Structures are given as structure tokens and as C-alpha cells.
Structure 1
Amino acid sequence: MEQIDWIVLIGTLLFIVLYGTYKARGSKNVTDYLKGGNEAKWWTIGLSVMATQASAITFLSTPGQAFHDGMGFVQFYFGLPIAMVVICLVFIPIYHRLKVFTAYEYLEGRFDLKTRTLTAILFLIQRGLAAGITIFAPAIILSAVLGWNLIQLNIIIGVLVIIYTVSGGTKAVSVTQKQQMAVIFGGMMIAFLLILNYLPLDISFSKALDIAGANGKMEVLDFSFDFDNRYTFWSGIIGGSFLALSYFGTDQSQVQRYLSGSSVKQSQMGLIFNGLLKVPMQFFILLVGVMVFVFYQFNASPLHFNPAAVNDVMNSSYAQEYEALEAEKQRLDTQLSEKQISYAQTTNPEEQEMLMEEIQIINITEDELRVQSKELIKKANPNAETNDKDYVFIHFILNNLPRGLIGLLLAVILSAAMSSTASELNALGSTTAIDLYKRNVQGRDEKHYVSASRWFTLLWGLIAIGVACVANLFDNLIQLVNIIGSIFYGNVLGIFLLAFFIKFVKSRATFLAAIVTQLIVIYIWWIDLMPYLWLNLVGCLLVMGIAALLQLLLPKKT
């Protein structure tokens, strides 16, 4: 990185932190601190909701996912617009009518204190882990690629977020997320245009799509019911709908975003705005990854994108074998570039078809070389992370973008990490303060509870940094966050649906059903019985079915 990159990076991050701290200063009561004084307009809510979900993992993992597997991951988001409509019609009116600070307050009135407490604790466990991962995800990748100290990077990201989240609460989170989304959208658009500009003159955007499609990268829809395939139309519509309902309807990190709305209508419009924009945004981010794939059809790409893993194998007895694979990869890169240029220049359909078959064979051979490289890395270091999807986009940024824009794209990644983490810490602090502390320590003034919320937010910030410092890289970071959510979200959603719609089920049956369901879902995940997206549906149906059955079987209280 050059000096201009450091100036852009540090300047962008400092502006966001100072702006958020300045705009949200002076919270005098709990409503100001936890609901932003109920002043947020629909565009602020929509961008804040989107920024909360779009963590750094989105901008690191998603392009790499598309580079390797194509556009199919977008199906994961197909259920989101459906969930937005349901939440607007059912959840938001109830929350606003009851004037709750957290989603879990409602459960005490419908059931009892222990059900409210259990649901809040389930949220705190999964969101506390997720907050650590949203810090750890960009830190582990940037440290591996840039050589920065991992622990120090975790602490820097965490501290920057803590400064404005603790000082300004919900309003600070919301106003900074507008700036962060502007940086994110601008940075990704610039990266996309530069990739197209870097392609050979003969390669138009339509030809780039043809190249991607011929290599299986543009297969968006999969209507199969294959459980071995994580991302299908049905898993997205059904499992994705339940995950989105749980996340946006019951997760305090999202509920708190639209509870700050100035009216029911403003909150509803904000969620609809998110529902309309989210799928196209994810499609675009995946398309960036596909264009990176096309770029590397004409330019040499590394055999393995994770430099730390490559360093492990190059310092082992398997170095010569790995170098032989790299030499073969370089030979294939030269062949591939020549064939692609010939394909772009010819207008003969038969010749185009023949060339494309040869290109596909080269890409398949290259994939086989990548598999062999991973096997060597594992032999050199059994603990090494061989999945390099999360490193694809950052490798492209650092090795191909002009100076200055590298700093901007790194600011995009860190801004996304900060925006998502800020929402999570804000929600963790408010849930702990309202659902656990205030409920059991009553009779204090507003100033005391604002102070308690700040301290709990700080505590969760420190916990998140701690989780980040001891975390290990998983298969794919964006999947890890969704897996953690899917283990808990179905159960929590089922509890809320029982509360909303099935009035004959009472508190004791619900409480017992929630505990049993959580144990069953964890077991199903542990034995890998089904793709994780379906856990949302299974957890929701299980808790509702078990609670209804227990209500019929348990002796009635006199």
C-alpha cells in the first residue's frame, strides 16, 4: 500500500467515527439512546437495515463465492422480500403499538418472564458470537494478505466501533451507516467498472457474460430438491424466508433499526425499501465476482489465493511438488488467454463452439490443479485453511487496482465490518439492559438506565473483540454467520409465531418446547442431516408443534 491508500483509508474511517459521535451526542433518556428519539425516516431505516446485514463478510466472501461457484448463491436471498411483507403487516404494528424497546419485551406480556428471558439469552448467545465473527472476518483476511498483526487489527476495528456506538447509541449507528453504505456502493461500483475496463478491447460486457455462462458461472436458478445442494430456489424461498423472518422480525440488531422509525409507515417503508434493493445488491456483488473470474481468464491467477497457506507449503518438504503445480498452472494460463482471445475475435459459430469446449477443458484442468494444491497444503500443515474463497476479491484489489482506490476498497471492507458490528453491539447492549437488567433492577431514573446501556454495550464490545481474537477461520465466512443464525433463528421465530397467532398455547408449554427444540436443532446440525438453511424451517415447526402438543398433554394449572 502506498501513502495515498493510507490517507484514503484512515481518512474515511476517522470521518465515519467522528461524524457518528458528533451527530448523536447528548442522549438524555432511554428513548433517545435506544430508539434514536424515534426520529428516523424510511431511507435511513432502509439503509441501516441493509448495512446491518451487509457485513465485511459480504464484500469479501460473496465475490469469491461467485468466482468459484457462480451466481447460484443469490437464491439464498429469494425469501427476503416475502419476509419483509410479513414483518410489515404483522410484526411492526405490534411492536409500535406496545412501544417496546426490544422485541423480547412483548413475550413477557404474552407468556411470562422466563420465556422472555430465555429468548433474549438465545439472541445474546448467537449474536454475541456473530459480532466477534464480523470483526474477525476482515481482520484474518487483511492480516494474511497485508501482513498486519491479527490481534491488533481485531482490537482496532472493535475499538473504532465501540467509540461511537457507546457514545451515541442507536442514532450514532443509523447516521454512520448511511455514510458507510455510500462508501460501500461507490467502492463496489468503481471496482466493477475497472474490471470491465481491464478486459481486452475485443471483450464487451455481453461477451464477458457469454464466457462466464459457458463455464457455468451464470446458472442462477436451481429448481432441484437435492439436499446435497445448499443453494436452490426452494431452499431460498422456503428456508430463506424463515431465516429472514427470524432475523428481521425477532433479532434485536434488526428490530432496533426500525423501532427508531418516526411512525409505523416510515418503518414499513424502510423495510420494503430494503426488500426491493437487497436481492439486486447481492446479485451485483456476485456479478463482480463473476467478472473477476472473467478477468482471470485473460490474466494469470494464483494457484491458491491464501498467501498464508501458500507460505506453509513453500516452507515444507512439499515445496517442489507445489512449484511443479504452479508451473503447470502458468502453462494453462497462457493457453487459456490465447483461446479466449481467439474466441472473442472469431465470428464463425462452429469455431466458437470448438474453442469454448477447449476453454472448458482448460478450466476443468485448472480446477483439478487447485484441488491438488489444497491436498499439498493440508499435508504441509493439517491445520491450514485450504478454502481460499474469502481471499479472491482482496487479492484482485491489491494486485490490480490503482493506488488510492486500494485504500477506498479497504475502507469499504472495514466500513462494512464496522456498520454490522455497531448494530450488533447496540442490540446486545440494549437487550441486556432492558430485558435482563432493567427488568430485575427497577425504580432507577432514566440517566441510570442510559448509563447501564452504555456499559453493557462496552462490555459486549470487549467480548466481541475477545471472540475475534480466539476465532478460527471456517469453510466460508458468509456461510458461518448464516449457520450460527440458522441454529437459533427458527426456534426464536417459532416462539414469536406462537405468541402472535396460536393463543391457546401458554407459557409453560412454550418454554419447555423452546428448550427441547434448541437441543434437537443443535443435534441435527451436528450430524449434518440437512443443509443449514432448512434448520430455520425445522426449528420453527418443531417448537410450534411441540408447544401445541405439550399444551394439550400437560395438566392444567388450578
Structure 2
Amino acid sequence: MQILDWVVLISTLLIIVIYGTYRSRGSKNVQDYLKGGNTSKWWTIGLSVMATQASAITFLSTPGQAFNDGMGFVQLYFGLPIAMVVICMVFIPLYHRLKVYTAYEFLENRFDLKTRTLTAILFLIQRGLAAGITIFAPAIILSAVLGWNLLFLNIIIGTLVIIYTVSGGTKAVNVTQKHQMILIFTGLIITFFLIIDKLPADITFSKALDIAGASGKMEVLDFSFDLNNRYTIWSGIIGGTFLMLSYFGTDQSQVQRYLSGKSLKEMQIGMIFNGLLKVPMQFFILLIGVMVFVFYQFNETPLNFNPAATEVVLSSKYADEYQAIQEKQNDVFLKKKDAINEYSNASGKVNPQIIAQYNTESDALRAEARTLIEKAGDSQNIKVESNDKDYVFLNFILNNLPRGLIGLLLAVILSAAMSSTSSELNALASTTTMDLYKRNTSEKSETEMVKTSKWFTLGWGVMAIGVACVANLAENLIQLVNIIGSIFYGNVLGIFLLAFFFKFVKANAVFIAALITQVLIIGLFLLNQYEIINLPFLWLNFVGCFLVIIIAMLIDFGKIPKNYKLILAGLISVLVFFGYLILNNTPA
């Protein structure tokens, strides 16, 4: 990085923090601090909701996901527009009418205090972990690529977020996120056109798509009902809809964004705006990853994109073996480059059989390299991350973009981390203040409640930094966040659906059902981790939602109206059929 990059990076981050603190100063009551005074317009809501979901993980991991596995990941978001319509018709009008500060207040009105408290605690657990990961994700990757101290990065990112979030609450989050999203969109669009510009002169965008397609990167839709495929159109529409319904309808980090709306109409339009823009945005980010893949068909690809991992193996007894694999990789690269340049079949398209053969050889060599990296780490008692998906995009930025733009793209990544983390801290503080502290203490003044909310924001911020400091990388960071959510979201969504549509089910039944369901879902997740069953994490949302509804209805079976007994039988049949599919897709 050059001086210009440092100037762009530091000035951008400081402007965001100072602007957010200045614009949101002077919150004197709880409504101002936790709901932004209900002044947000629809475009602020839409961008804020999008920024909350689009953390740094989105911009680091998603291009790497596309680089390795292609465009199929976008199917995860196919349930989003469906979820937005349901939330606008059911969730938002109810929250607006009840004038709630958190989604969980509604559950006490419908059930009782213990159900509200349990649901709030489930949210605090999963979102508290996720807040740490949204700090850790950019920190670990920037640390590896730039050589910065990891602990220092965790503290810096967390502290910057804490400053303006503690100072201004929800309004600070909303006003900064709007500008952060503009910065993010600008950076991504510039990067996309620069990648296209860096391709050989005779490789147009259309030809680049041909090359990606011949390599299997443009397979967007998978209509198979094979549970061995993590992302299919069915897991996206069914599992994704349940995930998005729970996330946008019951997760306080999202609910708080639209509860700050000026009116019911502003809230609803903001969410529809998010639903219309989010899928194209994710498609575009994945497409950037695919174009990075095409770029590396004409430029030598690192054997492993994590420079820290490469350094470890090259300083070990496995260095000669690693360099031998690198030479083989270079040979495969040259052959594949020649094949692509020839456009070998009559139609002028890239021959997919030849490209597939070279890609298979290259993937095998990269797998060998990962094995050597792990051995090198073990031999030196060093924990090293051999899976390099999350390093692909940042490695490309640092090695191929012009001065100044590198600083801008790093500012984009850190801004995304700050925007997502600020929403999470704000929501964690609101839930702790309103659902646990206020509900279980004597009446406090407005000034005391604002002060308490600020202390809770600070406390959760410190805890998130602590989680970031002890976190570990998973297979892919964007998947890790969705996995954590999927373990809890289905259960929480089921509780809310019981509250909305099953008026005969009572509080005790829901409370017991929620406890049983959470244990079962964690059990299913662990069984899948140890490969005893085959259940992709997206389906946990669907199973958790159905389980809590079925168990609660069975507990209150004597109170079920006749027509609801048919619904119960149908739900059980669907769950049994799904169980049959899981068993049939589980390796012997």
C-alpha cells in the first residue's frame, strides 16, 4: 500500500465516524436513542437494512465463493422477495400498531414474560456471536494479507464502531449506513469495470462469460432435490424464505432498522426496496468473483491466496514439495491459457471439455498444496488457514488495482464491517435494555434508560471484540454467519408464527416446545457435522420452524380446533417426508 491508499483509507473511516457522531448527537429519550425518533425515510430504511446484512464478510467471502464454486450461491437469496412481501403484510403492521421497541415485546402480549425472555436470549446468543465474527472476518484477512497485528485490528474496528453507536444509537447507525452503502456500491462498480479492462484486448465481456461458462462458473440454477447440493433453487426458495423471514421479521438487528421509519408506509416501501435490490446486488458481487476467476485464466494464479499460509509452508521442510507443485500449477496454467486463446471448437466458443480437464488438474494441485500447508503448520505448531476462499478478492485488489483505489476498496471492506457491527450492537443493547433490564427492574427515568442503553452498547461492543479475538476461520465466513443464524432462526420464526396464526396455543406449550426444538436443532447440526446424517444448514430453518409449531400443537392437542388438527397432520406429514429424504441422502 502506498501513502495515497493510507490517506484515502484513514480519511474515509474518520469521516464516517465523525459524521455519524455529529448527526446523531443529543438523544434525550429512549425513542430517540432506540428508534431514531421515528424520522427515517424509506430509502434510508432500505439502505440501512441492506447494510446491516451486507457485512465485510459479504465483500470478502462472496467473490471467493464465486471464484471457487460459481454463481450458484445466489440461490440462497431467492426466498428474500417472498419474505419481504410477508413481512410487509404481517410483521410490520403489527409492530407498528403495538408501537414496540423490540420484536420480542409482542411475544409477552401474546404469550407471557418467560416466552419473551427466552426468545430474546436466543437472539442475544446468536447475534452476539455474529457481531464478533463481523469484526473478526475483515481483521483476520487484512492481518494475513497486509501483515497487520490481528489483535490490534480487532480492537480498532470494534472501537470505531463503538464510538458512534454509543454516541447516537439507532439514528447514528442509520445515517452512517446510508453513506456506507453508497461508498460500497461505488467501489464495487469501479472494481468490476477495472477487472474487465484488465482482461486481454480481444476478450470482451461476452467472451469472458463464455470462458466462465466453460469452467462451470455460470451455473446459476440447480433444480435437483439432492441434499448433497448445498445450494439449489429449492433450498433457496424454501429454506431461504424461512431464513429471511426469521432474519428480517424477528431479528432485532433488522427489525430495529425499519421500526425507526417515519410511518408504516415508509417502513413497508423501505423493505420492498431492499427486497428488489438485494438479489441483483448479490448476483453482481458473485459476478465480480467470476470475473476475477476469468482474470486469473490469463494471469498466473497463486497456489494459495493466503500469503500467511504460503509463508509458513515455504519456511518448513515441505518447501521443496510445495515449489514442485507450484511449477506443475504454472505448467497447467500455460496449457489452459493456450487452449482458451485458441477458442478451439468451430463455433468460436471455449471447449468446455478441455477447460474442465485443466481445471480438474489445477484443483487437484491446489488441494495438494493445502495438505502440505496443514502439515507444515502442524510440524511448527502453528495454526494456519489452508482454505483460501476468503483471501481471493483481497489478494486481487492489493496486487492488481491502481494506487488510491486500493485504499478505497479497503475502506469499503472496513465500512461494511462497521455498518453491520453497529446494527448488531445497537440491536443487542436495545434487546438487553427493553426485554431484560427494563422488564425486570423498577420504573426508570428516560435519562437513566438512555444512559443504561449506552452502557449496554459499550458492553456488547467489548464482548464482540472479545469474541473476535478468540474466533477461528470456518470453510467460508459468509457460510459461517448463515450457519449460526440457521441454528436459531427457525425456532424463533416458529414461535412468532404460533403467535400470529395459532391463537389457541398457550404460553407454556410454546415455551416448552421452543426449548425442545432448540436442543433438537443443535443435535441435528452436530449429527450433520459428524456426517451421521446429511442435512445442509439452510434446511435447519425449515425444520426448526416446523418442529416448534408441531410440538407446541401436540402439547396443547386437547385445545386444537378440528380444522387445525388437519393442519397438524399435514405439518407432521411434510416433516416425516423430509426426514425420509434426509435418511435416503445420508451416506451408508
TM (norm. structure 2) is 0.92
Q: How many residues align?
A: 551
Deviations 1:400-458 (A, max 9, x none): 00010000000010000000000000000010000001111232110110110000000
Hey, what does 1:544 align to over in structure 2? 549
Which amino acid is 1:84 matched to? M
Contact 2:117 2:436 in 1 (8 A): yes
Secondary structure (helix, strand or coil) at the match of 2:473 reads coil
Hey, what does 2:273 align to over in structure 1? 273
Hey, what does 1:15 align to over in structure 2? 15
Hey, what does 2:397 align to over in structure 1? 397
CA distance in 2 between counterparts of 1:357 and 1:118 reads 55
Hey, what does 1:88 align to over in structure 2? 88
Deviation for aligned residue 1:352: 5.0
- In the alignment, does 2:68 pair up with 1:63? no
User: Matches of residues 97-496 of structure 1 in structure 2 within 5 Å?
Assistant: 97-343=97-343, 349=346, 356-382=352-378, 383-496=383-496
Which amino acid is 1:124 matched to? L
Deviation for aligned residue 1:308: 1.5
CA distance in 2 between counterparts of 1:295 and 1:449 reads 54
CA distance in 2 between counterparts of 1:252 and 1:246 reads 10
Secondary structure (helix, strand or coil) at the match of 1:297 reads coil
Deviation for aligned residue 1:338: 2.6
Secondary structure (helix, strand or coil) at the match of 1:298 reads coil
Hey, what does 2:581 align to over in structure 1? none
CA distance in 2 between counterparts of 1:333 and 1:488 reads 44
Deviations 1:70-94 (A, max 9, x none): 0000000000000000000000000
Deviations 1:272-311 (A, max 9, x none): 0000000000000000000000000000010111112112
Which amino acid is 2:371 matched to? E
CA distance in 1 between counterparts of 2:430 and 2:61 reads 30
Secondary structure (helix, strand or coil) at the match of 1:33 reads helix
Measured on the aligned residues, the alpha-carbon RMSD in Å equals 1.3
CA distance in 1 between counterparts of 2:142 and 2:337 reads 29
CA distance in 2 between counterparts of 1:58 and 1:377 reads 26
Deviation for aligned residue 1:377: 1.3
CA distance in 2 between counterparts of 1:152 and 1:351 reads 52
Deviation for aligned residue 1:351: 7.2
Contact 2:56 2:417 in 1 (8 A): yes
Deviation for aligned residue 1:380: 1.6
Which sections of structure 2, spanning at least 5 residues, go unmatched? 560-588
Contact 2:107 2:116 in 1 (8 A): yes
Deviation for aligned residue 1:359: 3.0
Deviations 1:107-163 (A, max 9, x none): 001000000000000000000000000000000000000000000000000000000
Deviations 1:501-547 (A, max 9, x none): 10000000000000000000000000103000000000000001001
Deviation for aligned residue 1:552: 2.3
Hey, what does 1:534 align to over in structure 2? 539
Secondary structure (helix, strand or coil) at the match of 2:102 reads coil
Which amino acid is 1:142 matched to? L
CA distance in 2 between counterparts of 1:506 and 1:310 reads 58
Deviation for aligned residue 1:553: 6.0
CA distance in 2 between counterparts of 1:250 and 1:442 reads 27
Deviation for aligned residue 1:360: 2.8
CA distance in 2 between counterparts of 1:52 and 1:352 reads 41
CA distance in 1 between counterparts of 2:268 and 2:524 reads 35
Hey, what does 2:583 align to over in structure 1? none
CA distance in 2 between counterparts of 1:551 and 1:311 reads 61
Deviations 1:376-419 (A, max 9, x none): 11222244322110000000000000010000000010000000
CA distance in 2 between counterparts of 1:194 and 1:483 reads 33
CA distance in 1 between counterparts of 2:276 and 2:347 reads 42
Secondary structure (helix, strand or coil) at the match of 2:203 reads coil
Deviation for aligned residue 1:361: 1.9
Deviations 1:326-352 (A, max 9, x none): 111122222222322222xx7x61675
CA distance in 1 between counterparts of 2:140 and 2:347 reads 47
Deviations 1:194-226 (A, max 9, x none): 000000110000000000001100000000111
Which sections of structure 1, spanning at least 5 residues, go unmatched? none
Which amino acid is 2:314 matched to? M
Secondary structure (helix, strand or coil) at the match of 1:384 reads coil
CA distance in 2 between counterparts of 1:359 and 1:510 reads 55
CA distance in 2 between counterparts of 1:438 and 1:457 reads 15
Deviations 1:25-81 (A, max 9, x none): 000100000000000000000000000000000000000000000000000000000
Hey, what does 1:24 align to over in structure 2? 24
Which amino acid is 2:432 matched to? T
CA distance in 2 between counterparts of 1:234 and 1:379 reads 39
Percent identical residues: 71
C-alpha change, 1:376 and 1:270, in structure 2 (3 Å) is same
Deviation for aligned residue 1:549: 0.6
Contact 2:210 2:349 in 1 (8 A): no
